[in-house]
Each structure stands twice: as structure tokens, then as C-alpha cells.
Amino acid sequence: MFIIDTHAHYDDEKFDDDREEILLSMKGSGIGIIVNSGASMEGVRDTLRLTEKYDFVYGTAGIHPSETEVLENEGAYQELKRAVLCPKILAVGEIGLDYYWNEPERELQRKHFVKQLNLAREVKKPVVIHSRDAAADTLDIMKALNAQDMGGIIHCFSYGVEMAREYLNMGFYLGIGGVITFKNSKKLKEVVEYMPLDRIVLETDSPYLSPEPNRGKRNSSLNLKYIVEKISEIKNVTQEHVIETTYSNACSVYGLKI
């Protein structure tokens, strides 16, 4: 059984010097599948190229809330729609709301969050949700649009047990990454302790959010072992059980038949 990284960004410029070398090292380290998240129009294009070049790389395609101004152009939206129809694109994402920054304006973010949720419904694919400092609005929009019908992953889950319960009740999976290893991640540890293992998927968000003991360095899927170790410790189960269960979860949410 191998590990599935459900969310990474190998299209990022931080991998420009050694992208092929690091990707080809994955299988020898127990990483069998990587799902690359295209989060901008260029990121979507690069993700498609990665899925074509590497048999073990799949993708998601969506416009991150910070990049949503591009979707004011109908041509960009139509390009995104064509991308999400590709067989190796497993979901629409990452999409959502990010109120940490003041731009783009929140109304624009909400407009294109709704539009991309409707796109996922149209193409019958799950969603990958980004929500930062926008807990109430994200949940309200998802409930209003019956997002539970599409299902998917709450990427880099960062809220508390009460919000986790809401999403779990809607049938969503929670993406757990390097933050779970941080000393100050008490809230996330409480969520992982509370939630069933069969709703956790592993992710790195590479090259960001590298876990301890590599915090602050460029992240890669090779660091998933530290996330597995921490979840194993919190849930009091073997690392093998964590790997097997999260593998099954990833296959289920993304419709992977491997």
C-alpha cells in the first residue's frame, strides 16, 4: 500500500530546478499518487502538462479565491471548464474564500466561488475547498448550494471541532497536512482526535507548510511520513492503518480506481 498526496503544487516555481528529479523519487519512497492542484489559470495549464507527463500525477483545476479576478473574463472561465472535463482532473479546486487578504474584494470572491461550485455540479466532480478567515461565509454558501451533493475535501482544514462537525455531517473529507505536527496546532490536533479516521485525507500543499522537523523549508510529498506519524500517535493506531485508510479515503473522494 502506498501513500496518496491529495493536494500539492508541483507547478510552483520553487520546483523549477529539480521538479523531475523529485517527482521521479516518489515511488521509491512509498508515494504512489500525487494530486496537483491548479489554482490559477497558469497553474491549471501547468497541472494538465504534469498529468500528461507523469502517469502517477493527477490534478484538480480551479481558481483560488485570491486569483478570481481572472474569471471576470468569460474566455478564462470557458478554458477552466474545458480543463475540468479532462479525465485526469479529479475535482474542481482549489476554490473558496480567503479573507486574510483584502483583495480581491469579498463580493467578487463569493461570486466566483458560487460559479465554480455550480461548475462542479455541472461536470459531476467533487470540490476542493480553500477557506481562510472566512468560516461562516464559506459554510453558508456551501449549504445554500447543497455542496454535499458534489462532496469533496476541505483543504488544509484550519477551524475547530464545531466547524469540522458541520463539514463531516455534509459528507466532506478534511485535508490534514504539515500543520498537525506544529507545537502550536492544539485546535487541529483536537479535530483529528475527534473525527473518524475514515474522513481524513493526507496532503502536503507542497511547497508550503512543511511539517516538523522540516518546518520553514520547501515542502514535498516525501514529508508525508511525518504527518502519518502524528496522526498515528493522535488516533492511537498503527502507521500502516493510517496509510491504508487514507489511501481508501482518497480513492473514494476522488473516484480513483487504482
Read off the pLDDT band of 73 (50, 70, 90). very high
Read off the pLDDT band of 102 (50, 70, 90). confident
Half-sphere exposure of 119 (CA within 13 A, CB side): 26
Q: What is the pLDDT of residue 1?
A: 80
Q: What is the mean pLDDT of residues 86-109?
A: 96
Q: What is the mean pLDDT of residues 203-212?
A: 98
The per-residue DSSP string of 6-60 comes to EEE-TTSGGGTTTHHHHHHTSGGGTEEEEEEEE-SHHHHHHHHHHHHH-TTEEEE
Give dist(CA 59, CA 35) in Å, integer. 5
Name which of 198, 192, 173, 182 is nearest 253 in CA terms: 173
The SS3 assignment for 175 reads strand
Write out the H or E segment, with its range, that includes residue 66: none
Quick: pLDDT tens for 217-230: 999 999 999 999 99
Contact 22, 204 (CB under 8 A): no
Contact 8, 221 (CB under 8 A): yes
Mean of pLDDT over the chain: 97
Q: What is the pLDDT of residue 228?
A: 98
Quick: pLDDT tens for 122-147: 999 999 999 999 999 999 999 999 99
Q: Which domains does the chain have, with CATH numbers?
A: 3-254 (3.20.20.140)
User: How many residues are listed for the chain in this entry?
Assistant: 258
Q: What is the pLDDT of residue 81?
A: 98
Residue 26 clears pLDDT 80, i.e. is over it: yes
Q: What is the mean pLDDT of residues 89-110?
A: 96
Question: Dihedral of the CA atoms 139, 33, 182, 189 (nearest 10)?
Answer: 50
E-strand stretches of 39-140:
57-61, 89-98, 127-132
Q: What is the pLDDT of residue 257?
A: 86
Q: What is the pLDDT of residue 258?
A: 74
Give the burial class of 212: count Cβ atoms within 10 A of its Cβ; 0-12 exposed, 13-18 middle, 19 or more buried. middle
